[in-house]
Amino acid sequence: MTMPGEMIAAAIQMVSGDELDANLACAAQWVARAAAAGAELVVLPEYFYLMPADEGARVELACAPGEGPIHRALAQMAARHRVWLVGGTLPLLSPQPGRMYNASLLFDPDGRCRARYDKMHLFGFDDGNERYDEAATMMPGDAVAGAATPWGELRLSVCYDLRFPELYRQPPAPALISAPAAFTHTTGLAHWELLLRARAVDNLAFVIGAGQGGRHAGGKRTFGHSMIVDPWGQVLACVEEGEGMALARLDLDQQAQWRRRLPALQHRRLA
């Protein structure tokens, strides 16, 4: 039970495999657990639906907005459990054959899609041992997105976006930031918590980072450490590796107090 000025959020951590139905069933179980624990806002990780050895396998699942089994499953989860649900990411058709939009959708408790954000910053990394090139199978989005919720503006973002703080500075100022991710173990070990806490402090916002956390088909290892960070940069909850759920009570009155005491959002002078 939450008091006025509070809400409970959950960041779901998964170790998704290469079977769509199994991944959707796993996500549904975790959303149910989060709702049973009192969560009103639940965030699933990036690629919760599929972590294949062949990155191109996701493109084959791409559908038009509002269509396909992944969208239907997310809408049903939100409506069944009466939660606001950030559907991690799902693949949507793009104008270019062989490439998809990596989209994060926000569903309300009636199962309606309230916002769509296409990942703007596509991850690229090559240290001689590991190599990633999302641009080979993805189209970048071109617009910041979010939606009004009962707890304030929620800004949608995905994984690599955390390295681009200007995305979160676009008005209206977010009270909440969702960051579904599949950070590699290499980059996550170095920067994941640092980036989440920095974005929370930058924006005096709650940040909900839901990640993949383990070994996947083809040997890829993701960092996990899904966490919820408060506007003062404090980690409220964290699950390190494997499947799990970071659950935290968010004190919105305290957030308003911090914003009054340190009006950094009003002091910003660069457009």
* Residue 193 tokens, joined: 């918590």
φ, ψ (nearest 5 deg) of residue 176 = -135, 145
* Of 46, 55, 113, 134, catalytic: 46
Amino acid letter, 225:
H
* Of 40, 55, 119, 220, catalytic: 119
Annotation says 159 is catalytic: yes
* Residue 247 tokens, joined: 């659950």
Amino acid letter, 161:
D
Residue 215 buriedness (CB in 10 A; 0-12 / 13-18 / 19+): middle
Annotation says 119 is catalytic: yes
* Of 55, 113, 134, 159, catalytic: 159
Q: Is residue 171 helix, strand or coil? A: coil
Contact 99/119 with Cβ under 8 angstroms? no
pTM, two decimals, is 0.97
All structural domains of the chain: 6-262 (3.60.110.10)
| Tens digit of each residue's pLDDT (9 = 90 or more) over 63-111 | 999 999 999 999 999 999 999 999 999 999 999 999 999 999 999 999 9
Of the pLDDT bands very low, low, confident and very high (cuts 50, 70, 90), residue 4 is confident
d(CA 41, CA 232): 20
| Cα 7 to Cα 11, 77, 132, distances in angstroms | 14, 19, 37
**pLDDT at residue 1, as a whole number:** 59
| Tens digit of each residue's pLDDT (9 = 90 or more) over 134-180 | 999 999 999 999 999 999 999 999 999 999 999 999 999 999 999 99
DSSP 172-195: SPPSEEEEEE--BHHHHHHHHHHH
d(CA 121, CA 192): 16
Q: Which of 106, 131, 243, 147 is nearest to 186 (CA)?
A: 131
pLDDT average, residue stretch 213-232: 97
